[in-house]
Structure 1
């Protein structure tokens, strides 16, 4: 927060802060709203953020009720939230601000309210609505709910009442939304006569259990090729700042960081029909559920096809995305071979 020459603090314009934050987050990289990574996407043309934002604003102004681009933005925001990355969530807010700028000025002028305060409340309300609509709300409905919440917050900040929308409207969408329970796979340990409370032992058990499961449906050559890529550096593992004490010790001995997430072994995305089959969703219902926001996992578009993020599918199925070491996975696979 900058200071004026006479020492008084001046609040930054929240809309501008959001825009600057998102531009910094995307930097000069191409923006892929299809799968999040332009290198993995089948669509070859990807704009930089400013061009993408302009297209999103124009698209919403022309077709505010339904837009595949905005549906994909919301889906990417949900997927990014799962990774702990907020840039797509903030991008949705940023692309909505052109529709809030004029309204904020009108409210500030007519009710003698501080413009910066009003815009700050608008951003807070839009983000709160984003969080409240995480499940059970169709992606096409989320941007409009965020916009209405922002406008209501602006009127509340100006101490007046607005009838554009009511809290009940949002409550109706959220009546059936419940957070999935947290749980993990319970697999029998392969290691005997060891203390599973020891972090190093627990790490080895996780890896061997994962390898034993993979051995049942993955050809050994595929697993070996994946591990060779990890060991030779053709495929990056987990970031070193995620390493525990036991992992750091093992990295020191082996001279390489070969750890990876179990989700890294699978494709980043699967087709909607495959995901529906895994989830037990009837084929006749799957596309209707996607349109109404009741499909269990967020979806995104790749060209004309719906794709489901593999990590989202694992999360819904309560399959933990754990860090494993190739040696442990291979030991577990070898053990399962002789069962």
Structure 2
């Protein structure tokens, strides 16, 4: 019997023009940051999604760190962040001396529970950082209402949310600032890479300066100053134009990539729907949110069940993964947490499992995954 071909969790998709554009960038003689392809990408995001200013970065982490610098945080300032998220969401603000106040997730999905936010706001609160988990929108209308009432900045962590919407408006266009990821596991990729979207003009010029090591070099190149120098704090957050060239090839194929990922997501959802009768959770979209096909996950009924499911699938050459660990219980930050129990963050930590999801996942491969998941639960 021929062994089954392994099905990985992720496989980066190449549209076909990546190496062509990289070669074009190299031949242009300008492969450092802010070259031809970087400018094309900036223009695309600003026109396609209405971001007031887009700045490519070397990662989503860097975009978040730029946002934290722009907030002028002082030690003791507080930033509200979901506990169930990647460490960069919190770490960017910890690096500026902020205290992280963790919000719990909802029973509906891993996004932060907006109903709990007002109780977390104090006179030291400076910002709310909603994370659009799996590309599914947080309730931005409610978050913005709170932010307006208490004069807070909203920084959207839209790492997984490219081409996803809240009531028809693109995610990343609500907060004063928003961070995106183009890591190889995302819908649109450049290997590593990210972007800061700036929707408040008071941050635009300073963001350019921070991104260019704290110098006003971008203003010099536009002829707005006669020389450039060190005018602020910053770092080297801008990517090579080679990375932007790769990203541009992906953006040209955005519609095709999105259509395929959404079709895969829908196939998972339809065929695994019977599992809900035995308590297994499937992704749930609020009526205000769209689906960008970023990931497909299940929530098991216990950590033991999830462990058994992952082992069962791995034995059949299928690689699922679990996801984040609750940050309020992390080794690094648990001692700084205020002691509140965050049951839903811990539930997703223990019970959420992500299934293989990538553009080239074939119908046959997906049926193997679906069949194995259903078989696991039939045996139980």
TM over 0.5: no
Point out which structure has higher relative CO (alpha carbons under 8 A, 6+ apart).
Answer: 2
Of Structure 1 and Structure 2, the greater helix share is in: 1
Q: TM-score, normalised by structure 2?
A: 0.27
Q: TM-score, normalised by structure 1?
A: 0.29
Structure ID, larger Rg: 1
